[in-house]
């Protein structure tokens, strides 16, 4: 199975991806996570350092694929998850899709695609141009990471549009949304009323999720020394169990930008009224 994880920049895709990869490994799967971002830090919490990128390795070998061995580009991370960083073109030049294509080409040359039960692409931010939408060409499912805010859901809608477009020619489905570090889900619910799609999980506002990124550790590794974090790991295990069950998924009918803008902005401008508390109930509460 192959997955692509997308979402607004800074929303926590890489942290989410790494923890899902470990959760899948905990379920007995052999997992390869491929970071598709020029800053090549997707797998940082799995390995604890910035591993060399495939594009840099190819340049060092003058693009002679036959001179590259799996250990040159594939690194073992926490929980037995194997890690690859595609890297990216120089700033302001080149195409991210080309880099993803070269990564897939090399991994196929190394027979890596045949050695794993799960391949997970962690893809740059909310940039869904043809280049960075390329991982969708190789994926069975897409997962979108969001929060309960306007910008993240606007980005999620653009990604949903990419899934719909790619599904015309590929057997691709949207597995669902993952809410990350959000204290509420009312705006998420408002969005999926307009654009029906599954919600795989909504993680509450847990500070340790952010801290894990700084420490360069997954929540599973942190939980080894702090068992109180096991409940956070259960969120990721739940996501892993859902995707391993081969969900039907959806081909989303994304909302038009203007309609979505009106829907989400109206929610902020005219928030739903809180339920009124009768005076007798209020007196009892005060007592």
Q: Which residues are catalytic?
A: 8, 13, 39, 126
φ, ψ of residue 165 in degrees (nearest 5) = -65, -45
For residues 257 and 174, give the distance between their C-alpha atoms in angstroms, rounded to a whole number. Answer: 19
**Helix residue ranges, H only, 227-278:** 230-244, 257-269
The full DSSP string for 12-61 is: SHHHHHHHHHHHHHHTT--EEEEEESTT--TTHHHHSS-PPBHHHHHHHT
Task: From residue 87, give the alpha-carbon distance in Å to each of 95, 119, 161.
Answer: 11, 17, 25
- The CA distances from residue 79 to 45, 232, 259, in Å, are 11, 17, 44
């Amino acid at each position: 199975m192959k997955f692509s994880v997308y979402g607004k920049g800074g929303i926590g895709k890489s942290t989410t991806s790494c923890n899902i990869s470990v959760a899948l490994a905990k379920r007995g799967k052999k997992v390869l996570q491929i970071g598709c971002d020029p800053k090549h830090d997707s797998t940082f919490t799995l390995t604890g350092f910035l591993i060399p990128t495939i594009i840099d390795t190819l340049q060092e070998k003058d693009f002679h694929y036959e001179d590259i061995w799996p250990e040159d580009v594939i690194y073992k991370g926490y929980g037995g998850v194997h890690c690859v960083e595609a890297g990216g073109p120089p700033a302001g030049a080149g195409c991210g899709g080309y880099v993803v294509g070269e990564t897939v080409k090399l991994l196929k040359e190394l027979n890596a695609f045949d050695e794993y039960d799960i391949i997970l692409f962690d893809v740059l931010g909310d940039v869904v141009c043809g280049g960075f939408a390329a991982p969708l060409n190789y994926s069975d499912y897409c997962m979108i990471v969001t929060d309960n805010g306007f910008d993240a859901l606007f980005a999620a809608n653009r990604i949903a549009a990419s899934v719909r477009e790619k599904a015309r020619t590929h057997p691709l489905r949207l597995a669902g949304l993952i809410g990350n570090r959000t204290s509420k889900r009312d705006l998420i619910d408002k969005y999926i009323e307009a654009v029906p799609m599954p919600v795989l999980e909504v993680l509450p506002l847990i500070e340790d999720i952010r801290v894990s990124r700084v420490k360069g550790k997954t929540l599973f590794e942190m939980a080894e020394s702090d068992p109180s974090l096991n409940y956070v790991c259960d969120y990721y295990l739940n996501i892993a169990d859902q995707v391993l069950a081969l969900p039907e998924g959806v081909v989303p009918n994304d909302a038009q930008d203007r309609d979505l803008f009106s829907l989400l902005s109206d929610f902020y401008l005219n928030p739903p009224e809180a339920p009124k508390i009768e005076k007798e109930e209020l007196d009892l509460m005060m007592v």
